[in-house]
Structures are given as structure tokens and as C-alpha cells.
């Protein structure tokens, strides 16, 4: 995005930015021969106060995303009265926090290793299996979140064997320095590999503020959009 666009974005209200992104999603869906109602938009509210989440709720948003456990836990507790608001956990999750994350999260997008599957699959979890995505690392940097594609099938098999988890599909973040469309095309291929083992795991969580159009063109069903809707984050880390 050009700095001119960013300045314009900064002057718009939250409602205007939300409407603008919704229109962009509609356009991208139309050019992909899809409809916007098959796409869930998760507004990523990390670093923003609970009051902003409440404003989004008043504007009709029912899916919000957070990437840090402490923050997600505190904000979801503060807004517990908004019973039909779904909290999506999209960041790296420590295994020792998994049980707590189950308490507030409706969906976990970042299941990327065996130890986390084990931690999430508690005995009580089997009664209400947690919807989850297996996060795939689209870079060669092992330090990034996500399972390497070469290790995808064993992790998927483990999730399928976990009574406390309900596999929805695959998730990824487009790497810097690569055309997002090419990265999302690879993700679509990994989604097909997963569906060969788990035909119901059809969903694809991909696309952020700067690349949601490309993600929609490659089949994304769940967009995770922050700044294009919320404006710049108060602090970033």
C-alpha cells in the first residue's frame, strides 16, 4: 500500500474502514467466481483495547483474532457479556497455555507441532472438540510458526486421532519477499494434501490486510485482517 493510501486510511472511521474492506472482499470474491458469504472475516484486534473490540461488535463483527495468550485471555474476560463473539487464536501458542486458551478461544489457527496437539487434546476436550487449523510454514526459516510441509501428514494424522480437536483445514502467513499469490497457491496445494487424509478439512485461513485479495483468489475461507480495519496498532512487537 502506498503511504498516500495509508494516510487516507488513517482519516477514515472504523466503520468506514470496515465497509471498505468488506467491499474489497466482495470485489475479490466476485473476480474469483466466489461469493463473499462463503468467506469469514476475522478482525485481528491485537494490541488494541477491549473497547475497540466492543466498537467492532456494535458494527456487526462477530469474529475477532488475537495472537498473544495473556492479551486474549484478558480481553475476552472483559467482554464476556458479548456471548456470540468468537475469539480466534492466531499466534504461536505455548503448550503450557493450551488448556487456558481452550477456555476462551472458539478456533485455534496455529496448531503446528505434536506437543501442542497433545496439550490441547485433554480428556474434557473430547466433549466439545476445539476447531483448529494446522499452520504451515511457507518459509525455509524453521523459527517461523508453522509445520514444515515435509512434516505435514504426520501432524495431520495426529490431529485426526485427537478426540479433543476438530480439524478445519490449513493456515499460513505469506512470506515477505515473495508474491503472496504464489505462496497462497502453494498453500492451496497443501490443503489438497490435507483433504486427501481429512475430506472435511476444507477450510483455508489465509490473507491479511495487504494480501487478502490474493488469498481469496487462491481459495481462502478465513481472512485474518488487522490494520486495514483497525488502523495502525498502538504498539507493535
Ligand X SMILES: *Cc1c(COP(=O)(O)O)cnc(C)c1O
Binding site for ligand X (CB under 6 A): 44, 46, 67, 90-91, 173, 208-209, 224-228
Query: Least distance (Å) from ligand X to the CB of residue 124?
Result: 27
Instruction: Give the number of other Cβ atoms within 10 Å of residue 48's Cβ.
Output: 22
Q: What CA–CA distance (Å, rounded) separates 149 from 175?
A: 14
Of 199 and 222, CB closest to ligand X = 222
**In the complex, minimum distance from the CB of residue 207 to ligand X, in angstroms, rounded to a whole number:** 8
Q: Is the dihedral of CA 138, 142, 143, 147 positive or negative?
A: positive
Least CB distance to ligand X at residue 53 (A)? 14
Which residue has the closest beta carbon to ligand X?
Answer: 226
- Minimal distance in Å, beta carbon 163 to ligand X? 27
Alpha helices, H only, 59-171 = 69-78, 98-104, 114-120, 152-160
Smallest distance, Å, CB 21 to ligand X? 9
- 183 vs 179: CA distance, rounded Å: 7
d(CA 162, CA 10) in angstroms, rounded, equals 44
Nearest CB to ligand X, comparing residues 122 and 175: 175
Burial class for 114, CB neighbours closer than 10 Å (0-12, 13-18, 19+): middle
Amino acid at each position: 500500500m502506498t503511504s498516500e493510501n495509508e494516510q487516507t486510511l488513517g482519516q477514515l472511521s472504523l466503520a468506514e474502514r470496515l465497509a471498505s474492506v468488506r467491499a474489497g472482499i466482495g470485489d475479490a470474491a466476485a473476480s474469483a467466481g466466489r461469493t463473499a458469504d462463503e468467506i469469514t472475516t476475522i478482525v485481528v484486534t491485537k494490541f488494541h483495547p477491549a473497547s475497540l473490540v466492543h466498537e467492532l461488535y456494535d458494527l456487526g463483527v462477530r469474529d475477532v483474532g488475537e495472537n498473544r495468550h495473556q492479551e486474549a485471555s484478558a480481553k475476552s474476560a472483559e467482554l464476556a457479556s458479548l456471548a456470540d463473539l468468537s475469539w480466534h487464536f492466531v499466534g504461536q501458542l505455548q503448550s503450557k497455555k493450551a488448556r487456558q486458551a481452550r477456555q476462551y478461544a472458539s478456533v485455534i489457527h496455529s496448531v503446528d507441532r505434536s506437543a501442542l496437539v497433545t496439550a490441547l487434546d485433554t480428556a474434557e476436550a473430547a466433549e466439545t472438540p476445539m476447531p483448529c487449523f494446522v499452520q504451515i510454514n511457507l518459509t525455509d526459516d524453521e523459527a517461523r510458526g508453522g509445520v514444515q510441509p515435509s512434516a505435514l501428514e504426520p501432524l495431520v494424522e495426529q490431529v485426526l486421532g485427537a478426540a479433543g480437536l476438530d480439524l478445519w483445514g490449513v493456515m499460513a502467513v505469506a512470506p515477505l519477499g515473495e508474491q503472496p499469490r504464489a505462496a497462497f497457491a502453494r498453500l492451496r496445494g497443501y490443503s489438497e494434501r490435507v483433504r486427501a487424509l481429512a475430506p472435511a478439512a476444507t477450510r483455508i485461513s489465509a490473507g491479511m490486510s495487504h494480501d487478502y485479495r490474493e488469498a481469496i483468489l487462491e481459495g481462502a475461507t478465513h481472512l485474518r485482517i488487522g490494520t486495514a480495519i483497525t488502523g495502525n496498532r498502538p504498539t507493535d512487537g
